[in-house]
Structure 1
Amino acid sequence: MLAPVNPTTGERLPPVVGFSAEESDAVIERAVAAFPAWRDTELSVRAAALQNAASALREQAEPLALTMASEMGKPYREGIAEVEKSAWCAEYYAQNAADFLKPETLASDASNSYVCYQPLGTVLGILPWNAPVWLALRFLAPALMAGNTCVMKADPHVPATAAILAKAFADAGLGNGIVENLPIHNGLVADAIAHPGIKAVSFTGSSQAGKKVAALAASGLKPAVLELGGSDPCVVLADADLNAACDVITLSRMINAGQSCIAVKRVIVEAAVYESVCERLYQRFSALTTGDPSIKDSQALGPIARDDLQQQLHRQVSETLLQGARCLCGGDLPSGPGFFYPPTLLVDVEPGMTAFTEETFGPVLAVSKADDFEQAMQLANTTDYGLGASIWTQSADKAQAAAHRLAAGQVAVNGIVKTDPRLPSGGIGLSGYGRELGPQGIREFVNVKQIWIA
C-alpha cells in the first residue's frame, strides 16, 4: 500500500494499492507497445494532443491544487500557479518542437550529410513530491513531442495527485500507453529501470538517490537525466539594491515552504552591507506565518512534507547553531500537529557548518559574510552542488564576471533563479547532469542520427 500522510495534520490519507512487479511490467509493456504508432504520428498531431493536455490540466487546476495541499502541503495559491506553468510547458513544446527537432545539414565530403533527431522509445520518469505536476510536465512534454512514450513513476507520497494528472492526459487523448501512471513502491524502481522496454530514465530527487538511479541506468547503458539537490548561493554586493535583493531572496527561500531545489539556500553578503542585509531579511522573515495550505486566500507558508524531513531540517539548524552561527528568528521545532517549521534566519554561517555544507530543504536561510567580491566568489563555489546561483550588483563588469565564474547550471543576475520552459535547466556536481526544458531538453531523449549520402 502507498500510505500518504497529510502534513498539515499528521493524519493518514486514504491508502492506495501499489502495483505488483507483474502489474508494473504490464504497464511498461503497454507503453512499449504504443511507441511505434506514436513515433510515426505527425508532429502536428502530437502538438494538437499536447495542446489538449494543456487544456485538460487547466480544467483540473482546482482538484490538483487541493490534492497537492493535502498530500504534500503546497499552499493552494502556489498549486494553482504550478498547474498553469505546467500547462504553459505543454503548449511551449507543442508550438516549438518542430523547430527543435528539425534536421540540420552539416558540411562533409558527402553530397548531402545531415543530423536528424529520432525518439528512443519508452522513457521512465521517476518524479519527486515537491512539485508533482510541474516536474512531471517538464519530463513529459518534451519527451512526448520527441515521439517517445512515457511511464510516470510518481513519489509514493502523492499518489492521488499523480492519478489526477494521468487522467488529464488520458482525457486529452494521450492514454493507451502513450502516458502511463506507475504507482509502485520505491523498492520496485530498480526493476522498472532494468526492464528491457525502458530506453532512458529521467530522475528528479536527492543526490543520494540520484547516484543509485545513475548506477542502475548505466548498468543497462541507458541514458539518464538527473536533476538533483542544490545548495544555491546568492551573492549580494555592496552596490546592490538591497531592498529588491532581500525581497527576492525571501520569496525564493519561502516558495513551497523552502522545499525547492533551486531556492536560495546560502546568502553571501559583502561586509560593507552585511548588517544591513541581515536586518532587512530579519524584518521579512519575522513577518511570515505558517498555516493550513488548503485555505484559498491564505498567504501563510505550508508545512514540511513529512515528519522525517522536518526532523532532518531541525537537526541541520541545531547543529549549525552549536557550531557558532546565530539565529535571528525561528529555529524552534513546533509542538502542534503537522510538520510545520518556522521561517528561520541563520547568520554568521561559515564554511564547514552544517547549513553551509548540506542542502537545507525547508524555510531556513544561511547568511555568510565576505570581505569583497573575490571572497564572495570563493564562498559561493565552496560546495559540492551546482544547480543555480545568483548575484545582486549594479556593476555590469562584476555581474558578467560572476555569471561566468559561478559554478552552477544557471545563474540569475539581479533576479530569482527559476525554471522556464524556454530555457534549459540542470546542474553540475552533486546537482546532477543533463538538461531539461528549452531546446536542449527535448534533445536529451533522442537518437542524434548522422546520415551521409554519397
Structure 2
Amino acid sequence: MAIATINPATGETVQTFDAATDDEIERALALASSCAASYRSTTFAQRSAWMQATADLLEAEADNVAAMMTLEMGKTLASAKAEVLKCAKGFRFYADNAEAMVADEEANASAVGAKKAFVRYQPLGVVLAVMPWNFPLWQVVRFAAPALMIGNVGLLKHASNVPQSALYLADVIRRGGFPEGCFQTLLIGSGAVEGILRDPRVAAATLTGSEPAGRSVAAIAGDEVKHTVLELGGSDPYVVMPSADLDAAARVAVTARVQNNGQSCIAAKRFIVHTDVYDAFAAKFVELMSNLTVGDPTDPATDVGPLATEQGRVDVEELVDAAAAKGASILCGGKRSDGPGWFYPPTVVADITTDMDMYLAEVFGPVASLYRVADIDEAVAVANATTFGLGSNAWTTDEAEQERFINDLDAGQVFINGMTISYPELPFGGTRRSGNGRELSAHGIREFCNVKTVWVG
C-alpha cells in the first residue's frame, strides 16, 4: 500500500510520502538506542512536565488536528476532536499517576530471609509500535503515554493511510519537550517491520490491528524472545434481556455500533436479544439506524461518514451480500449509494445462520447483526460463539443475570447497561484471538517494564 493521505469522502489522493530508506531506518534505530540509554535516567517529575506540555499542545491544536484526521480516515469532525482531547487526557493521566503506579513494592523480607526485599519496575528500552488507522492518535497515545512515563522510548510504524497523523504525533511529542529520539515516526511499509523487530536494539513491540498482522509480529517476536502486547480484532456481543430499559438500550446500541463510522474493534457488532423483547428492541433499533445521516464528515449534521478505505467497503459489502444470498434478512441499509467516496449505509441484518461468514467474521463498518435467543444460557452461548474476546455488553437490571454475564462472557471487558469504552483508568485488552496483554491503567504501564526482584541480605 502506498504511503498517502487519500480523502475517503472523495477518493482523491491528497498527498503522498516517500518510504524511509534503509539508511534512514538505521539512523532512527541508532538515535532511539542512544536516547534510551540516557532517557531512562530522567526523573518522573521531568517526564511529567514534558507530558503535560504535550497535552497542552494537543488541546490548543485540537481543531486543526481533528480536521487532519477527518481528511485522512473519514471520521466525523466531532469524533475527531473528541479523540484529540481524549489523547490529552491520557497524557495527563499518566503524567499525574505513573510514578505511583510503578513505585517500589515492598515484599515480606523476613519470609525470604532478607533484610529488605522489594520489586522495582524499570524500562525495557526501545519499543516498536505498529498501529492502525481507525483511531490515528488515541491508539498510539494509549501506548506512548505509559511507555514514555516509565522511561521507554518509542518507534512508531503507523498505518500507511494516516501518514500526517503519524508525523504529527512525533512532532507534538518533540515540541512538548521530550528529548530528540524519544519518540520517532518511521514511514515504512509492513515489509520493513520484521527487520526492525529483529534488530537487537529493539526490546519489545506492541501492535493494534488485524489478527494476521498480530500473528506475524508475535511470531517474529517469539523467535527473537521479545515481549509483545497485541490488541487485535473483536466481534463484541451486545446482549439485551427483558428487564433492560429498551429505549436506552436501543439508543446506546446505535452509538455502540456506528461509532467511528462502525470501524472500531470494541464497537458492538452482534446484538443478541431475548425473544420476549426481541421484536420491540428490533423495531426501535432499526428505526434509529435508518434515521442516521450519512454524508460529508466535515458537516456537523453528519452521523456516519465514509469508510476509511475502498477495500474496507468492499469487505463489508461482500459479507452483507453473501449473508443475504443465503437467506439473511436486511432490515435496513445493505446497499451503497452512487457517487464518490467510500460510503456505506447503517445496516441491520437478521436471520443469520452458522453457515454464513458473517456469523464469525468481524464486520468493520456500520453493520449490525441481530440474533434472537430464548434465555440467558443461549445468550451467553451465542455471545461466546466467536474466536474473539475483546469487549462485551449486557443490558439487564437483574443482579443475578449481571453476575452471570460478568463471570461467563469470555472477553477482556464486560460493560453492564452501557457500551464498551476505553478509559485511561481501566485496563484494556482481550482474550483468545483478540490478543494478549493489557493497555491503559497501571497494568498498561507495567507491560513494558522489567519487573526486577531485589533481595538485600
TM class, shorter-length: over 0.9
Aligned to 1:272: 276
Which segment drifts farther, 409-418 or 349-358? 349-358
Supply the distance in 1 between the matched residues of 2:324 and 2:57 (Cα, whole angstroms). Answer: 48
Aligned to 1:58: 59
Determine if the alignment matches structure 1 residue 385 to structure 2 residue 392: no
Residue 180 of structure 1 aligns to a residue in which SS? strand
2:121 alignment partner, one of 112, 117, 123:
117
Q: Look up the equivalent residue of 2:158 and give its one-letter code.
A: A
Determine if the alignment matches structure 1 residue 138 to structure 2 residue 136: no
Residue 366 of structure 1 aligns to a residue in which SS? strand
Aligned to 1:189: 193
Determine if the alignment matches structure 1 residue 155 to structure 2 residue 156: no
Q: Look up the equivalent residue of 1:349 and give its one-letter code.
A: I
Tell me the CA shift for residue 350 of structure 1: 3.1
Number of positions where the alignment pairs a residue of Structure 1 with one of Structure 2: 453
Q: Deviations over 1:366-421 (max 9, x none)?
A: 01011101110111010100000010001011101111100000000001101000
Aligned to 1:25: 26
1:419 alignment partner, one of 422, 428, 435:
422
Tell me the CA shift for residue 202 of structure 1: 0.8
Structure 2 length-normalised TM:
0.97
Q: Deviations over 1:51-73 (max 9, x none)?
A: 11111111221221111111110
Supply the distance in 2 between the matched residues of 1:99 and 1:171 (Cα, whole angstroms). Answer: 26
Residue 113 of structure 2 aligns to a residue in which SS? coil
1:213 alignment partner, one of 202, 214, 217:
217
Tell me the CA shift for residue 334 of structure 1: 2.4
Determine if the alignment matches structure 1 residue 339 to structure 2 residue 342: yes
Determine if the alignment matches structure 1 residue 300 to structure 2 residue 303: yes
Aligned to 1:315: 318
Q: Look up the equivalent residue of 2:261 and give its one-letter code.
A: A
Supply the distance in 2 between the matched residues of 1:390 and 1:350 (Cα, whole angstroms). Answer: 22
Tell me the CA shift for residue 362 of structure 1: 0.3
Q: Look up the equivalent residue of 1:203 and give its one-letter code.
A: L
Tell me the CA shift for residue 291 of structure 1: 1.0
Determine if the alignment matches structure 1 residue 263 to structure 2 residue 267: yes
Determine if the alignment matches structure 1 residue 37 to structure 2 residue 41: no
Supply the distance in 2 between the matched residues of 1:136 and 1:198 (Cα, whole angstroms). Answer: 18
Q: Is the 8 A contact 1:350 1:368 kept in 2?
A: no
Supply the distance in 2 between the matched residues of 1:298 and 1:188 (Cα, whole angstroms). Answer: 41
Tell me the CA shift for residue 352 of structure 1: 3.9
Q: Look up the equivalent residue of 1:279 and give its one-letter code.
A: A
Supply the distance in 2 between the matched residues of 1:385 and 1:289 (Cα, whole angstroms). Answer: 30
Aligned to 1:76: 77
Q: Is the 8 A contact 2:293 2:301 kept in 1?
A: no
Aligned to 2:202: 198
Tell me the CA shift for residue 111 of structure 1: 1.4
Q: Look up the equivalent residue of 2:309 and give its one-letter code.
A: R
Q: Look up the equivalent residue of 2:362 and give its one-letter code.
A: E
Aligned to 2:15: 14
Q: Look up the equivalent residue of 2:120 and give its one-letter code.
A: C
Aligned to 2:446: 443
Tell me the CA shift for residue 175 of structure 1: 4.4
Aligned to 2:177: 173
Relative to structure 1, is the Cα distance of residues 407 and 352 closer, same or farther in structure 2, using a 3 angstrom cutoff? farther
Q: Look up the equivalent residue of 1:292 and give its one-letter code.
A: D
Q: Which runs of 4+ in 1 moved over 4 A?
A: none
Q: Is the 8 A contact 2:47 2:178 kept in 1?
A: no
Relative to structure 1, is the Cα distance of residues 317 and 175 closer, same or farther in structure 2, using a 3 angstrom cutoff? farther
Q: Is the 8 A contact 1:201 1:223 kept in 2?
A: yes
Supply the distance in 2 between the matched residues of 1:30 and 1:62 (Cα, whole angstroms). Answer: 32
2:374 alignment partner, one of 343, 347, 371:
371
What is the root-mean-square deviation of aligned Cα atoms in Å? 1.0
Supply the distance in 2 between the matched residues of 1:18 and 1:283 (Cα, whole angstroms). Answer: 46
Please, which runs of 5 or more residues in structure 2 have no aligned partner? Answer: none
Determine if the alignment matches structure 1 residue 4 to structure 2 residue 8: no
